[in-house]
Amino acid sequence: MQQGGGSESEVTWEDQQNINKFSRLNNRFHELEDEIRTAKETNDNLEDASNELILSDEDVIRFHIGEVFAHVPREEVEGRLEEMKEENVKNLEKLEEEKDSIVAQMAELKRILYGKFKDSINLEDD
């Protein structure tokens, strides 16, 4: 459809679906960035806890379980911290993979939508 002196492409149902998909992916991308940042902070905190445990000379350590602190043998705390770090690293890798997948999908949608609408559409974060 032509209006005035500018040229605008008609938005088809498929185009609208692509725009909606891009929007959902963009929202998920930002959620993932927050989740990744939180996972990295958790990883740093677990690493700090491991380092503090190394410096500690106590045989029984106060360990946070749920909403309480319990006295737990040092070896058990070391094992739990390692398990928590491994679990967190796996979660972080999974989040990074999902983020990479979303970036690739968004790039493809940008190519399609900018190819059709050129400057009439803005898909960039400001």
pLDDT tens, residue by residue, 74-110: 999 999 999 999 999 999 999 999 999 999 999 999 9
* CA distances (Å), origin 117, targets 12, 32, 73, 108: 11, 28, 64, 14
pLDDT value of position 123 = 87
* CA distances (Å), origin 124, targets 10, 18, 23, 114: 21, 15, 11, 11
Structure tokens at 50: 């491991």
Q: pLDDT tens digits, the chain, 126 residues: what are they?
A: 444 444 567 889 999 999 999 999 999 999 999 999 999 999 999 999 999 998 988 899 998 888 999 999 999 999 999 999 999 999 999 999 999 999 999 999 999 999 998 888 888 877
> Which domains are assigned to the chain?
22-116 (1.10.287.370)
Sign of CA dihedral 117, 118, 121, 125: positive
Predicted TM-score (pTM) of the model is 0.82
pLDDT value of position 120 = 87
* Distance from C-alpha of 101 to C-alpha of 106, rounded to nearest angstrom: 9
